[in-house]
Amino acid sequence: MNLLTVGTVAFDDIETPHGKAEMAIGGAATYISLAAAHFTDKVLLVSVIGDDFPQDTLDHLKGQGVDLDGLQVKEGEKSFFWAGRYHDNMNSRDTLVTDLNVLADFDPVLPESYKDADYVMLGNLTPAVQMRVIEQLDKAPKLIGLDTMNFWMDNTLDSLLDVLKKIDVLMINDEEARQLSGEYSLVKAAKVIHEMGPSTLIVKKGEHGALLFKDNEIFFAPALPLNEVTDPTGAGDTFAGGFMGYLAMTDDTSFENMKRAIVYGSAMASFCVEKFSIERLVGLEKEDIRDRIRQFVQLVNFDAKL
Amino acid sequence: MNLLTVGTVAFDDIETPHGKAEMAIGGAATYISLAAAHFTDKVLLVSVIGDDFPQDTLDHLKGQGVDLDGLQVKEGEKSFFWAGRYHDNMNSRDTLVTDLNVLADFDPVLPESYKDADYVMLGNLTPAVQMRVIEQLDKAPKLIGLDTMNFWMDNTLDSLLDVLKKIDVLMINDEEARQLSGEYSLVKAAKVIHEMGPSTLIVKKGEHGALLFKDNEIFFAPALPLNEVTDPTGAGDTFAGGFMGYLAMTDDTSFENMKRAIVYGSAMASFCVEKFSIERLVGLEKEDIRDRIRQFVQLVNFDAKL
């Protein structure tokens, strides 16, 4: 099955306690596509860039099976740019620069061949842009996932609530789940958010793992404890790409399969943070991913002897 | 097998967003003993109280199989008292009052019958007092667990390092593991702490679960997502009591069995936080505990289909 994704394709300046990267390849849709392409036969990318984006990265995406027909290239304009600095604990960061550039008036246009997409992942963007993508679909996809952030809750809550009615899986962090629901307990938050539309909630907790809430069932996947986290940028998008890519590959949206998809998403994210930018996702082999899944099994596996 | 434990037996004033408790029964050794008594045939308690401590609580402890021969009662003096207020997120708290009272000059004295204890849990206390307990043992126990906190790292690091050389399992939170080791990565922190003495490190992360590091193996147990956390006081001690009690009951210190012990400890802690003070631990049945273990299995169980 194919996976349509919309999100930024961008440049990042990143500073962490482990080093710096300047004009590094970034963007939600970049990470989502690269992670998903390890699973699905076809990723349909919707985004916008300027004429400053490197051709070799576009070639790499194409080589991975990412369809770029939905990628608008604006001549004489610059790609979206973000600069940030991580604190010592890597769990929080300051945004230093946000240059919207081509993103300022981004109007996503779906090529005809995208309009019957099987699976859809709406990366973190203005809710109105996410809605524009949904509106252009000819038929209801099997599953729509959506990422968002507190900024849209603060500033465009009504249009966020509109788009939530249309989607199946909401992926946000614990702070955002609490803000959106007004509930501190994540169990209660999941119930409130379920009423807003999404049948499934994934709470991303970074180094503390991820929780999956569907109906009255809960599943927890830890993050893999790592020797070194070099750069957390893109980890959430890589998680989403692995999760959605695995669902698209297996074409199975049952709770049992979503559990596996979460573990695959966590495995992809654990690679992402080991190096700057998309470096670690490039050239990753199927066997690397399987090895890491085995580590996840080891990490949580116990015989309760009940 | 029996379990010797030393720690406070105390009164707490507690304020959380869900209510208040005044002069509630508290203390590390109280929680450790009550949790462990669900598993071991005998808990040997070492502590000190004033003549103000309620007899019915002492009777309840005795009824659960807790030996009070090592509990000193100081006539005309007051028991240790702590007052604290939890923040909205329940993950942090302010200490409002600490009245050491009988704890100020506590010199633990082990009755003869305690000196060949099989398992030992040293609750959070001055490292010098923890060492005094170890020194009085006639033979090396099968396993010694120890809880401590950043206060002792700041103020009595040398004597803490001395006692760490004598113990097997160190149980601290993630912030404390980072402070003690000087490493941010918990994987690296575990290696540094291993060099200090303890063969096993348990990193308690509250609502984010617990990590077990032994040799080069890692195990992760989540905390159970709860509808409501009423009062986190004593959760870490209850976890330690469940962990050590399970090890003492099964008399098996292998990594595989420690994994089960961590899950039992987490299950006991999940009960503890549901009500104020020791309320939820009193009258808990074997079947309640088994039910909760089943929930833990459900929470992390997945078929990787590799």
Q: Which tens digit of pLDDT belongs to each residue from A211-255?
A: 999 999 999 999 999 998 999 999 999 999 999 999 999 999 999
Residue A41: what pLDDT? Answer: 83
B255 vs A: CB within 8 A? no
B195-227: pLDDT as tens digits: 999 999 999 999 999 999 999 999 999 999 999
B305 vs A: CB within 8 A? yes
Q: A70, A61, A97, A62: which is closest to A82 by C-alpha?
A: A97
A18 vs B: CB within 8 A? no
B299: nearest CA partner in chain A: A219
Min Cα distance B287 → chain A (Å) is: 11
| A306 part of a folded domain | no
| B306 part of a folded domain | no
| A175 part of a folded domain | yes
Q: What is the dihedral of CA A189, A194, A197, A202, to 10 degrees?
A: 70
Q: What does the pLDDT average to over B245-256?
A: 98
pLDDT of B158 over the 80 cut: yes
Please judge whether A303 and B188 are an interchain contact, meaning their C-beta atoms are less than 8 angstroms apart: no
Residue B88: what pLDDT? Answer: 82
A62-97: pLDDT as tens digits: 999 999 999 999 999 999 999 999 998 787 899 999
Q: Which two tokens stand for residue A292?
A: 């890491």
Which ipTM was obtained for this model? 0.92
Question: What does the alpha-carbon distance between residue A9 and residue A242 come to, in Å, rounded to a whole number?
Answer: 17
| B99 part of a folded domain | yes
Please name the residues between 215 and 254 in chain A that touch chain B, using a CB distance below 8 Å.
217-222, 225-229
Cα separations (Å) of B221 from A174, A296, A300, B125, B258? 19, 12, 7, 26, 11
B230: nearest CA partner in chain A: A185
Please judge whether A218 and B225 are an interchain contact, meaning their C-beta atoms are less than 8 angstroms apart: yes
Cβ contact A35:A282 at 8 Å: no
pLDDT of A256 over the 90 cut: yes
Question: In the Cβ-directed half-sphere of A15, how many Cα atoms lie within 13 Å?
Answer: 9
Please judge whether A260 and B205 are an interchain contact, meaning their C-beta atoms are less than 8 angstroms apart: no
Please judge whether B294 and A306 are an interchain contact, meaning their C-beta atoms are less than 8 angstroms apart: yes
Residue B210: what pLDDT? Answer: 97
Confidence of residue A291 (pLDDT cuts 50, 70, 90): very high
Q: Which residues of A touch B298 (CB under 8 A)?
A: 217-218
CB atoms near residue B124 (< 10 Å): 22
Q: Which residues of A touch B208 (CB under 8 A)?
A: 205, 208-209
Residue B306: what pLDDT? Answer: 84
Question: What does the alpha-carbon distance between residue B71 and residue B77 come to, in Å, rounded to a whole number?
Answer: 14
Residue A12 dihedral angles phi and psi, to the nearest 5°: -130, 140
Q: What does the pLDDT average to over A148-169?
A: 98
3-class SS of residue B280: coil
Q: Which residues of B touch A227 (CB under 8 A)?
A: 185, 187-188
Q: pLDDT exceeding 90 applies to what percent of chain A? A: 96
Question: What does the alpha-carbon distance between residue B84 and residue B10 come to, in Å, rounded to a whole number?
Answer: 13
CATH number for B157: 3.40.1190.20
Q: What is the dihedral of CA A237, A241, A242, A247, to 10 degrees?
A: 140
**Beta carbons within 8 Å of A213's beta carbon, 6+ residues apart:** A186, A187, A190, A194, A200, A201, A202, A203
Please judge whether A222 and B227 are an interchain contact, meaning their C-beta atoms are less than 8 angstroms apart: no
Closest Cβ–Cβ partner in A17, A293, A302 for B260: A302
**Beta carbons within 8 Å of B169's beta carbon, 6+ residues apart:** B143, B144, B145, B146, B198, B199, B200, B201, B202
Please judge whether A185 and B256 are an interchain contact, meaning their C-beta atoms are less than 8 angstroms apart: no
Q: Which two tokens stand for residue B89?
A: 């997120």
pLDDT of B173 over the 90 cut: yes
Please name the residues between 24 and 43 in chain B that touch chain A, using a CB distance below 8 Å.
none
Please name the residues between 59 and 88 in chain A that touch chain B, using a CB distance below 8 Å.
88
| A145 part of a folded domain | yes
A27-60: pLDDT as tens digits: 999 999 999 999 998 999 999 999 999 999 999 9
Confidence of residue B35 (pLDDT cuts 50, 70, 90): very high
Confidence of residue B90 (pLDDT cuts 50, 70, 90): confident
Q: pLDDT exceeding 70 applies to what percent of chain A? A: 100
B205 vs A: CB within 8 A? yes
Q: How many domains does chain A have?
A: 1
User: What residues are paired with A44 via a beta bridge?
Assistant: A4, A67
Q: What does the pLDDT average to over B245-270?
A: 98
The secondary structure element, H or E, covering residue B171 is: strand B169-173
Question: What does the alpha-carbon distance between residue B246 and residue A106 come to, in Å, rounded to a whole number?
Answer: 59
Interface-testing mutation among A300, A303, A305, A306, with chain B (most B C-beta atoms within 10 A): A300
pLDDT of A1 over the 90 cut: yes
Please judge whether B222 and A209 are an interchain contact, meaning their C-beta atoms are less than 8 angstroms apart: yes
CA geometry: angle at B208 spanning B202 and B212, to 5°? 20
Residue A22: what pLDDT? Answer: 97
Q: Which residues of A touch B296 (CB under 8 A)?
A: 304
| B305 part of a folded domain | no
| A305 part of a folded domain | no
pLDDT of B296 over the 90 cut: yes
Cβ contact B21:B33 at 8 Å: no
Residue A300: what pLDDT? Answer: 95
Please judge whether B302 and A260 are an interchain contact, meaning their C-beta atoms are less than 8 angstroms apart: yes
Min Cα distance B184 → chain A (Å) is: 7
Interface-testing mutation among A90, A183, A208, with chain B (most B C-beta atoms within 10 A): A208
Q: How many CB pairs below 8 Å do chains A and B form together? A: 104
Q: Which residues of A touch B186 (CB under 8 A)?
A: 225
* Spatial strand order in the sheet of A10-16: A19-26, A10-16, A80-86, A93-99
Looking at every residue in chain A, the average pLDDT score rounds to 96
User: What residues are paired with A67 via a beta bridge?
Assistant: A44
Residue A298: what pLDDT? Answer: 95
Residue A91: what pLDDT? Answer: 77
pLDDT of B91 over the 80 cut: no
Cα separations (Å) of B275 from A286, B16, B28, B213, B230? 48, 11, 16, 30, 5
pLDDT of A135 over the 90 cut: yes
Q: What does the pLDDT average to over B75-90?
A: 94
**Beta carbons within 8 Å of B289's beta carbon, 6+ residues apart:** B38, B264, B267, B268
Q: Which residues of B269-286 are buried (b: 16+ CB within 10 A; e: fewer)?
A: bbbbbebbbbbbbeebee
Looking at every residue in chain B, the average pLDDT score rounds to 96
User: What residues are paired with A2 via a beta bridge?
Assistant: A42
Q: Which residues of B touch A303 (CB under 8 A)?
A: 256, 260
Can you give the residue range of the structural domain that contains A93?
2-300
Cβ contact B224:B299 at 8 Å: yes
Residue A88: what pLDDT? Answer: 81
Ordered alpha helix ranges (H), chain B: 28-36, 55-63, 127-135, 150-155, 157-164, 174-181, 186-195, 235-250, 255-272, 286-300
Q: B11, B16, B27: which is closest to B85 by C-alpha?
A: B16
Residue A99: what pLDDT? Answer: 96
DSSP chain A: -EEEEE---EEEEEEETTEEEEEEEE-HHHHHHHHHTTT-SEEEEEEEEETTS-HHHHHHHHHTTEEEEEEEEETT---EEEEEEE-TTSS-EEEEEEE-GGGGG------GGGTT-SEEEE-SS-HHHHHHHHHT-SS--SEEEEE--HHHHHH-HHHHHHHHTT-SEEEEEHHHHHHHHS-SSHHHHHHHHHHHS-SEEEEE-GGG-EEEEETTEEEEEPPPP-S-----TTHHHHHHHHHHHHHHHHT--SHHHHHHHHHHHHHHHHHHTTSSTTTTTTT--HHHHHHHHHHHHHHH------
Q: What does the pLDDT average to over B81-100?
A: 92
